[in-house]
Structure 1
Amino acid sequence: MKIISSMTFLIKYIFWGALAGLLILFFMPNSQLPFNWHVAQDIFHFYQTHSRLEAQPASQATLTIDNLSFAEAVEKASPSVITINTYHPKRFRESENLAPNEKILDVAVGIGSGVILSSEGYIVTNYHVINNAERISISLPDGRRRFVEVVGYDVETDIAVLKTNLQALDSAKLATSSGVKTGDLVLAIGSPFGRNQSVSLGIVSAITYQSFAPRIQTDAAINNGNSGGALINSSGEVVGINQMILSSLGGGQTGINYAIPIDRVKKIAEEIISYGRVRKNWLGIDAAEFTEYAHRQRFPDIEFGTGFFVRKIDIDSPAQKAGIQKGDFITRFEKQSISGVASFYKLFYDTPIGKEVEVELIRDGIKLMTKIKLVEKSIQPIS
């Protein structure tokens, strides 16, 4: 370390300078100063004690910007991040260079990224990357290329799973995104504008919710082609799948980018791989919440931030069959307090299909309790 090296040099300079001075005084002709062995011993002891800094292990030394690198994390994660090419036939057209019955097929090519989930060949990416593609190919970091098939996708969560028959694949090391915190350092790996294995650095700016689903907000640069790629931590583990950017009016970078937390990605991908679709709970209510001022006007006796109100009920839904009514204020779900709509949906999505849950609500100032059996939402064809 530079700081330690400089200190060691200074100590050596002081020691040898002081020792040389004493020797000069001792041997100098006509010197009237006696040589003081006690002073010499003190100087030597000072040098012995402080020169130990030189032997200090590098891991304990002061960290400087000169040796800060994330190459090891990138090297660990990058083999599992691939490039995805999609092919979209547009139209046939004629050309004067062709025979009368021959035509040219114009094909638009899209670029995205993906992450290898398992050595069996399953790959996760964003649904919008492969949407409407007639054919899809992947390019691995080792140069191998193959066309792949779509296992399934979920439009709502923007997650798709692909399958390749390539062998000897490096699957990603997945972290637990529930441990991700604002301020954590992250790196985005993908193929922005077709530049394979490109890496950008940033931090977790916030944990936000969009359509009541969690998102990791980061300032790590994400551009066209990064979608579906990996957002990793400093240990090289995937914490999210890069999804989108918030662009300015001119389409430029704003430093506000989003990734889907890997815990949610794993759950959706497992559903697609196991069932060919994403099974979802159905309750049949439209949950809503007011601003604090509007809440106090509408529900003066209910503390703000302690639940949500039911704006609409679906006909023949589990909620309607359980007696839930429009205007009810729900405060607890499965014996857990609710702070708002996002809090409710997190509990709701994590509840197994078919489970009977207990719901606490307030209607006309009266606290009520009811039980609702969750059922699977109507099957959505996804492949």
Structure 2
Amino acid sequence: MNLPTRILLATVVAWSSTGAANPKTVAKPAQARPTINLRVDDSALGENKPGAPLLSYADVLEPVQKAVVSIYSTKIVRNANPLLQQLFPNLPPRESKQDGLGSGVIVTPDGYILTNNHVVEGADELKVSLADDREFTAKVIGTDPKTDVAVIKIEAEKLPVVTLADSDKLRVGDVVFAVGNPLDVGQTVTMGIVSAKNRNVKILEDVGGYEDFIQTDAAINLGNSGGALIDARGRLVGVNSAILSPSRGNIGIGFAIPVNLAASIMKSLVETGTVARGYLGVSTETITPDVAEQLGVARDTRGVVITDIVPESAAEKAGLKRNDVILGVNGHAVGTLEEMRLMIAQMAPGSVAQLRVVRDGKESKMDVTLDKFADKPDELLSGVTVQPLGAEERRRLRIDVRVTGLLVTEVEEKSPFRESLAPGAVIMEINRTPVREVEEARNMLHPGRNLLAVYYRGAARFVVVVIE
């Protein structure tokens, strides 16, 4: 990272005295130096009298600064030269080290820290530096690329923490502060306002993410990611995440994840090890005036229209139909498909969503018990895709007729289970129980050590996989 050049500016004044250059000038008798009396008010700016205007936020921000940390990541990158690998197959790839910088917010006295997924993603080592210069090694508790939220933890006690606000109550114009370590210059506080709410700017589009950003003009730069967005009462309202800029520098368009969303993701990651999202099972489009007119509703109607329904989904079971217009979820108006998708995803599987629906010009309310959303329906373990073993696969892979279970079809290169499982292997049992369906197998797995009975290349063996 190229840090900005530090420049010191000074004013130089040239003095000229013709008398000093004239040897015949006679020195005048020394005169007593004048005294100067200055009016000084040595009280801190924040020491205001009751009823006086607020002139400083120092008292509000000082406790918060103690709970904001710097996060230094290290990643080992292995680069293989294809030509050299062909000539020398046993030649190990070259290794290089990449360093990263971000920020984080301590939210519990025993060391849980909120930050961004992109701050910790792929890191081989994480170091956390506190405001009092203490340094700790951190471990990743969980990440959610779809919201860019991550939770890490350091082993410490009685740490300073921030208080969380209700980010749903933020208003455009509210004063906010961004706290973090931009460009590794040290902890920095910048001030601005809430410029907009509920922003969806396609930053997480590549991962099918959920965006509901707070936009602010408080200066955010590289290194601020994962830091705190604080309101004027010193409460956490967001986790700084991204900027829009043609120059990679701050131009006053920054984005933070609302703390309500970040806290719900954190709670799920800490308590369950994963993020469970509600799933309705519909395809929708934001309704337009022309479509609204064709469906028999007012042209200025705001909502989403159902264009398709997944068979056997929660939506089908509840009786939703194609061309139904959804106007609201749980009493909250829905204006776009992104808004509805986010609302449903923030609800837990098994919970009931009350929808306000218009069908054939008549409005009604419908209760839908949500399913569980699976990012990859056929993914059993992180990076491991499976499917029920069928007759065609059995014949092609010459698998014994006595073998039943789930066939491993793909293992991603970055999967933590790449050394234990391979495409073509059949998972016959999980924790001593036979498996045949993917969802059934997922429910058999639990955090910690799991025993798998695996058939591969004509032999059966036991494999232990650890789920953290």
Q: Same fold (TM over 0.5)?
A: yes
Deviations 1:98-134 (A, max 9, x none): xxx9998420000000000101111110001111111
Partner residue in 1 for 2:248: 251
Aligned CA distance change for structure 1 residues 379 and 181 (closer, same or farther; 3 Å):
same
Of residues 123, 126, 130 in structure 2, which corresponds to 1:140? Answer: 130
Match runs of 1:30-49 below 5 Å: none
Match runs of 1:185-196 below 5 Å: 185-196=175-186
Percent of residue pairs bearing the same amino acid type: 32
Amino acid at match of 1:266: A
Q: What is the CA–CA distance in structure 1 between the aligned matches of 2:134 and 2:276, rounded to whole Å?
A: 34
Deviations 1:198-219 (A, max 9, x none): 1111111111232664321100
Match runs of 1:57-72 below 5 Å: 58-61=49-52, 63=53, 68-72=55-59
Partner residue in 2 for 1:266: 263
Aligned CA distance change for structure 1 residues 72 and 335 (closer, same or farther; 3 Å):
closer
Match runs of 1:368-379 below 5 Å: 370-378=366-374
Query: Given the alignment of the two structures, is residue 214 of structure 1 paired with residue 212 of structure 2, yes or no?
Result: yes
Query: Given the alignment of the two structures, is residue 113 of structure 1 paired with residue 103 of structure 2, yes or no?
Result: yes
Aligned CA distance change for structure 1 residues 270 and 365 (closer, same or farther; 3 Å):
same
Query: Given the alignment of the two structures, is residue 354 of structure 1 paired with residue 359 of structure 2, yes or no?
Result: no
Query: Given the alignment of the two structures, is residue 320 of structure 1 paired with residue 307 of structure 2, yes or no?
Result: no
Deviations 1:173-217 (A, max 9, x none): 222222221111111110111122111111111112326643211
Bigger helix fraction: 1
Aligned-pair distance for 1:169?
1.3
Indicate if the aligned counterparts of 1:147 and 1:164 stay in contact, CA closer than 8 A.
Answer: yes
Match runs of 1:123-134 below 5 Å: 123-134=113-124
Of residues 300, 303, 306 in structure 2, which corresponds to 1:304? Answer: 300
Aligned-pair distance for 1:59?
3.1
Amino acid at match of 2:111: G
3-state SS of paired residue (2:239): strand
Aligned-pair distance for 1:334?
4.5
* Rg larger for: 1
3-state SS of paired residue (1:74): helix
Q: What is the CA–CA distance in structure 1 between the aligned matches of 2:306 and 2:176, rounded to whole Å?
A: 38
Task: Give the paired residue count.
Answer: 315
Deviations 1:300-323 (A, max 9, x none): 533523421013323432113333
3-state SS of paired residue (1:84): strand
Indicate if the aligned counterparts of 2:78 and 2:93 stay in contact, CA closer than 8 A.
Answer: no
Indicate if the aligned counterparts of 2:282 and 2:307 stay in contact, CA closer than 8 A.
Answer: yes
The RMSD of aligned alpha carbons is: 2.9
Query: Given the alignment of the two structures, is residue 224 of structure 1 paired with residue 222 of structure 2, yes or no?
Result: yes
Aligned-pair distance for 1:332?
4.4
Q: What is the CA–CA distance in structure 1 between the aligned matches of 2:268 and 2:114, rounded to whole Å?
A: 12
Q: What is the CA–CA distance in structure 1 between the aligned matches of 2:233 and 2:196, rounded to whole Å?
A: 20
Q: What is the CA–CA distance in structure 2 between the aligned matches of 1:357 and 1:259, rounded to whole Å?
A: 27
Aligned-pair distance for 1:58?
3.5
Amino acid at match of 1:275: T
Amino acid at match of 1:135: E
Q: What is the CA–CA distance in structure 2 between the aligned matches of 1:312 and 1:327, rounded to whole Å?
A: 8
5+ residue gaps, structure 1: 1-56, 94-100
Q: What is the CA–CA distance in structure 1 between the aligned matches of 2:356 and 2:195, rounded to whole Å?
A: 35
Q: What is the CA–CA distance in structure 2 between the aligned matches of 1:328 and 1:340, rounded to whole Å?
A: 14
Aligned-pair distance for 1:336?
5.9
Amino acid at match of 2:227: G
Aligned CA distance change for structure 1 residues 337 and 227 (closer, same or farther; 3 Å):
closer
Partner residue in 2 for 1:152: 142
Q: What is the CA–CA distance in structure 2 between the aligned matches of 1:274 and 1:103, rounded to whole Å?
A: 39
Partner residue in 2 for 1:81: 68
Indicate if the aligned counterparts of 1:114 and 1:123 stay in contact, CA closer than 8 A.
Answer: yes
Indicate if the aligned counterparts of 2:112 and 2:151 stay in contact, CA closer than 8 A.
Answer: yes
Q: TM-score, normalised by structure 2?
A: 0.61
Partner residue in 2 for 1:18: none
Amino acid at match of 1:229: G
Indicate if the aligned counterparts of 2:287 and 2:303 stay in contact, CA closer than 8 A.
Answer: no
Indicate if the aligned counterparts of 1:187 and 1:232 stay in contact, CA closer than 8 A.
Answer: yes
Aligned-pair distance for 1:144?
1.3
Q: What is the CA–CA distance in structure 2 between the aligned matches of 1:237 and 1:264, rounded to whole Å?
A: 15
3-state SS of paired residue (1:272): helix
5+ residue gaps, structure 2: 1-47, 81-90, 201-208, 383-467
3-state SS of paired residue (2:251): coil
Deviations 1:269-302 (A, max 9, x none): 111111111111111112321444x345543533
